[in-house]
């Protein structure tokens, strides 16, 4: 999975929980390697060397401790990731509200206040993209979740954006609902 550097620049206050999530994920990966090493030692001693349970007891205890460590790391990683996601959602909501306020009453008068409030409070969803095509994943999520509006940040490359084709432009062209581009 490629990580777009612009994504990190837009995380705002989520840098610390995001860094903690990455660090815990790395530590979890290292624990998996040690866990595999412990399993290989147990299998080697028990099956190849014919050792009994008492001879591999220390390796079994190590395996148990590594399993508990991985459980703790995974739990804390999930909590840190949730915290980062909540901070990003909050930032998106505040940017959306600021953008709507900047558009002024002439724009918001045409919209129902309940729909605007719902969009700002509960309608902001961050899509976790795990596939190679971010646009395809976002469009798939938009199609399945059927939101009233999609809000996407853009760098606004002006006339080059349509020529080069950006993620936000592609989603704005293909989404089955209105798309609000925030620069």
- pLDDT tens digits for range 69-108: 999 998 999 888 888 877 877 777 777 778 777 777 666 6
Rounded CA gap, 74 and 68, in Å? 10
Q: How far apart are CA 118 and CA 114, in angstroms?
A: 6
pLDDT in tens, 63-75: 999 999 999 998 9
- Claim: this prediction has a pTM higher than 0.75: no
- Position 128 scores a pLDDT of 45
Identify the helix (H) or strand (E) that includes residue 180.
Answer: strand 179-182
Kindly tell me if the per-residue pLDDT of 4 is higher than 70. Answer: no
Query: Which residue, among 108, 141, 103, 109, has the nearest Cα to 124 in the 3D structure?
Result: 141
Question: Which tokens hold the place of 116?
Answer: 């605007």
| Exposed/middle/buried for residue 14 (C-beta within 10 Å: 0-12, 13-18, 19+) | buried
Residue 152 in this model has a pLDDT that exceeds 60? yes
The percent of residues in the chain predicted with pLDDT above 90, rounded, is 24
Give the rounded distance of the alpha carbon of 129 from its chain centre. 7
Beta bridge partners of 123: none
**In the 8-state DSSP scheme, what is residue 151?**
E
Q: What is the pLDDT of residue 160?
A: 47
pLDDT attached to residue 66? 94
Number of H helices, E strands in the chain: 8, 2
């Amino acid at each position: 999975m490629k990580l777009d550097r612009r994504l990190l620049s837009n995380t705002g206050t989520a840098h610390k929980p995001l860094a903690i999530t990455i660090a815990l994920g790395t530590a979890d990966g290292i624990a998996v390697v040690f866990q595999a090493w412990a399993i290989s030692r147990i299998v080697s001693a028990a099956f190849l060397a014919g050792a009994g349970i008492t001879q591999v007891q220390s390796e079994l205890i190590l395996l148990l401790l590594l399993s508990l460590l991985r459980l703790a790391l995974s739990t804390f990683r999930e909590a840190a990731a949730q915290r980062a996601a909540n901070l990003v959602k909050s930032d998106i909501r505040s940017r959306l509200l600021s953008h709507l306020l900047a558009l002024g009453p002439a724009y918001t008068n045409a919209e129902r206040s309940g729909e605007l409030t719902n969009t700002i409070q509960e309608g902001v969803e961050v899509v976790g993209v795990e596939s190679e095509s971010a646009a395809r994943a976002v469009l798939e999520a938009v199609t399945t979740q059927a939101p009233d509006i999609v809000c996407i940040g853009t760098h606004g490359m002006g006339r080059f954006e349509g020529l080069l084709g950006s993620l936000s432009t592609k989603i704005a062209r293909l989404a089955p609902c209105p798309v609000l581009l925030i620069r």
